Chain A
């Protein structure tokens, strides 16, 4: 198993080595030591390898991830797994702002809390936060599922399009055009599937409420014609 100590190896050299791996590589399990909060660790990986990071990471860890499984044994700075395409990023501690921002696919699991703007502009990613999320989360969320076992901060789902937001605890307030919705069979199946992929078995889908778009904001209404 390749082991890279970031107190000795340059971050660019690590990321370049990950990008150079051939499709049939045998180096499928990487260990990264002493991340020291450095930014952009394991960004842009495009192979089904597992990368374990022992410690806290800075901004954008696992950004643009494609197919890789990235496990962070610590906290993550802003923009963890931003624009993830597929694969999985697992943060064992807390995540800072904009976790999973603009993500198009894959699964982001955060064992602790995520701060403001979690899932901002998410476009298909599934995000599971076992703790609570901060304000303005899922702002302009377009598709995908955000599952929160704890509470949500103010202005959840402001200007939301078609993502599903499942929250088990309280919601401080809903943003513009975000409403509580009845959980239909498809919604429940989606929630069960995400909980299953995140290996969460001790929580019932019945305990969640579903929030989504009232669809008043992004559909043109003829009554507003004079405003243009």
Chain B
């Protein structure tokens, strides 16, 4: 199973409601994935600053260490959301901060969930509605977002196994399905210099797109190439700094439905997830074709 929700706004008027729209979609999709949930949301960025989303280990004093680290690097005060924290770092000092997070004993157990000029990423175990409330998703605004509700089938119910997976700056992917050749693809990507945090097949799909885009492909081109290189069944929804895309496998194993209006493009695993969106009654509702890349880019 698993459920996917995605939103891409074409006009700014709905931006303040993006979080509440996605939150309702994820809650509806609890039936498809009650084990864990996660979402990536693309908000306003600040010039030259990269947002690092970090996850803190349970019951630790890591939050004090994060605040101390921010002061040490003269960063803006970190923004805490439950067990996640967003630290804004000048692009020039990103590597130094990341390296400190990985090495400092005071920050032991802190995980880098993702980084982006605009993307923040949150994921945790539990019912999707509870996860959305925990992070106060309904209060978040932005231009586009992707979310996932997971029914774990092949690996454990852990936060690390929750989607979205982020393997590049401002890049995230959610996946419903299962890949059959991920071990081979992972090994080739490792030879290309990519590293992976989990044994999860979906992280390999994310890494594959990161690699293709690093080599110069657009999001649409990268997904088109993935049709040749990734084997298995899947519906992918992918976000980048300015893009949003959808791809289903050639057999269309996993459900997918889209709705488009003048204001937004929405993706839902089932119509129920789209049913409460504004203006849905007059939206063009369609099922994405198998093996066809659908991509939207912000101007």
Contact = CB atoms under 8 A, between A and B. Distances in A.
Interface in A113-138: 115-116, 134-136
B272 A75 contact: no
B253 to A, nearest CB: 9
B252 A97 contact: yes
A58 B271 contact: yes
A212 interface: no
Interface of B: 251-252, 255, 257, 270-276, 281, 285-287, 289-290
A55 B275 CA distance: 10
A37 B290 contact: no
Contact of A77 (B270, B286, B290): B270
Interface string A22-42: 000000000000001110000
B286 A94 contact: yes
B290 A116 contact: yes
B272 A37 contact: yes
A116 B251 contact: yes
Majority SS of interface residues in chain A? loop
Given A37-B270, A96-B255, A116-B252, A56 B290 contact: no
A89 to B, nearest CB: 17
A78 interface: yes
Interface of A: 36-38, 55-59, 75, 77-78, 93-94, 96-97, 115-116, 134-136
Q: 5 nearest interchain CB pairs?
A: A37-B271, A37-B272, A36-B275, A56-B271, A37-B275
Given A56-B285, A97-B255, A134-B290, 5 more contacts: A37-B270, A37-B272, A58-B270, A75-B285, A97-B252
A172 B242 CA distance: 35
Contact of A58 (B272, B281, B285): B272
A136 B257 CA distance: 19
Contacts of A116: 251-252, 290
Contacts of B255: 77-78, 96-97
Contacts of A135: 251-252, 290
B278 to A, nearest CB: 15
Contacts of B290: 116, 134-135
Contacts of B289: 134
Contacts of A136: 251
B28 to A, nearest CB: 9
